Structure 1
Amino acid sequence: MSVCEVNFDGLVGPTHHYAGLSWGNVASAANAASRSNPRAAALQGLAKMRRLTQLGLVQAVLPPQERPDLALLRRLGWRGSDAQVLAAVAREAPRLLAASSSAAAMWTANAATVAPSTDTADGRVHLTPANLIDRFHRALEAATTTRVLRAIFRDPARFLVHDALPAHPWFGDEGAANHTRLAPAHAAAGLHLFVYGRSALGGGPAPQRYPARQTLEASQAVARLHGLDPAQTLFVQQNPAVIDAGVFHHDVIGVGNEPVLLVHEDAFLDRAGTLAALRARLPSLVAVEIARDAVPLAEAVRTYLFNSQLLTLPDGRMHLLLPSECAESPQVSAALDAILADPANPIATREHLDLHESMRNGGGPACLRLRVVLNEAERAACAPGIFLDDALYARLCAWVQQHYRDRLHEADLADPALLDDNRRALDELTRLLGLGAVYPFQLDAGAGA
Structure 2
Amino acid sequence: MNAYEANFDGLVGPTHNYAGLSYGNVASSNNRSLTSNPKLAALQGLEKMKTMRNLGLVQGVLPPHERPAVNELRALGFSGSDADILTKAAKQAPKLLASCCSAATMWTANAATVSPSLDTADGKVHLTPANLSNKFHRAMEHKTTRQVLQAVFNSERYFTHHEALPGIPQFGDEGAANYTRFCTDYHRPGVAFFVYGDNGFSSNERRPRPQRYPARQTREASEAIARQHQLACDRIVFAQQHPNVIDQGVFHNDVIAVGNKNLLFCHEHAFLHQRQVYEQLREAHTDSALSIVEVSDDQVSVSDAVSSYLFNSQLVTVNGKNTLIVPSECDANEKVARYLRWLTESHHTIDAVRSFDLRQSMKNGGGPACLRLRVVLTDAELAAVNPGSIMSDSLYQRLVQWVNDHYRDRLTEKDLADPQLLMESRNALDELTAIMQLGSVYDFQR
Specify the TM-score bucket, using the shorter chain as the normaliser.
over 0.9
Please, which of 339, 343, 368 is the counterpart of residue 339 of structure 1?
Answer: 343
Task: Measure the CA separation in 2 of the matches of 1:19 and 1:206.
Answer: 28
Q: Is the 8 A contact 2:68 2:100 kept in 1?
A: yes
The equivalent residue for 2:128 is 128
The equivalent residue for 1:297 is 302
Task: Measure the CA separation in 2 of the matches of 1:142 and 1:216.
Answer: 20
Task: Measure the CA separation in 2 of the matches of 1:40 and 1:188.
Answer: 39
Alignment of 1:22-421 (within 5 A): 22-202=22-202, 203=204, 204-282=207-285, 283-313=288-318, 315-342=319-346, 345-421=348-424
Task: Measure the CA separation in 1 of the matches of 2:364 and 2:40.
Answer: 14
Task: Measure the CA separation in 2 of the matches of 1:114 and 1:261.
Answer: 19
Alignment deviations for residues 116-143 of structure 1 (CA, whole Å, 9 cap, x no partner): 0000000000110000000110001000
Task: Measure the CA separation in 2 of the matches of 1:87 and 1:367.
Answer: 32
Q: Is the 8 A contact 2:71 2:445 kept in 1?
A: no
Which amino acid in structure 2 is aligned with residue 302 of structure 1? S
Change (3 A) 1:294 1:328: same
Q: Secondary structure at the match of 2:160?
A: strand
Which amino acid in structure 2 is aligned with residue 420 of structure 1? M
1:340 deviation in Å?
Answer: 1.5
Alignment deviations for residues 285-312 of structure 1 (CA, whole Å, 9 cap, x no partner): 1000000111000000000000011011
Task: Measure the CA separation in 2 of the matches of 1:443 and 1:166.
Answer: 21
Which amino acid in structure 2 is aligned with residue 318 of structure 1? N
Which amino acid in structure 1 is aligned with residue 95 of structure 2? R
Task: Measure the CA separation in 2 of the matches of 1:444 and 1:178.
Answer: 28
1:56 deviation in Å?
Answer: 0.8
Identity of aligned residues (%): 55
Alignment of 1:6-25 (within 5 A): 6-25=6-25
Alignment deviations for residues 166-217 of structure 1 (CA, whole Å, 9 cap, x no partner): 1111100000000000111111110111000000113421101000000000
Using the size of structure 2 for normalisation, the TM-score is: 0.98
Task: Measure the CA separation in 1 of the matches of 2:273 and 2:188.
Answer: 27
Change (3 A) 1:183 1:444: closer
Task: Measure the CA separation in 1 of the matches of 2:445 and 2:267.
Answer: 47
Q: Is the 8 A contact 2:13 2:103 kept in 1?
A: yes
Task: Measure the CA separation in 1 of the matches of 2:324 and 2:78.
Answer: 48
Task: Measure the CA separation in 2 of the matches of 1:240 and 1:346.
Answer: 28
1:148 deviation in Å?
Answer: 0.4
1:284 deviation in Å?
Answer: 1.5
Alignment deviations for residues 140-163 of structure 1 (CA, whole Å, 9 cap, x no partner): 100000000011111111100100
Point out 4+ residue stretches in structure 1 off by more than 2 angstroms.
Answer: 442-445
Q: Secondary structure at the match of 2:133?
A: coil
Q: Is the 8 A contact 2:18 2:34 kept in 1?
A: yes
Q: Is the 8 A contact 2:66 2:445 kept in 1?
A: no
Any gaps of 5 or more consecutive residues in structure 1? none
Q: Secondary structure at the match of 1:306?
A: coil
Any gaps of 5 or more consecutive residues in structure 2? none
Q: Secondary structure at the match of 1:307?
A: coil
Alignment deviations for residues 366-424 of structure 1 (CA, whole Å, 9 cap, x no partner): 00000000011001111111001111000000000000000000100000010011001
Task: Measure the CA separation in 1 of the matches of 2:123 and 2:44.
Answer: 36
Which amino acid in structure 2 is aligned with residue 29 of structure 1? S
Which amino acid in structure 2 is aligned with residue 103 of structure 1? A
1:444 deviation in Å?
Answer: 6.7
Task: Measure the CA separation in 1 of the matches of 2:340 and 2:355.
Answer: 12
Structural RMSD (CA): 0.9
Task: Measure the CA separation in 1 of the matches of 2:159 and 2:349.
Answer: 32
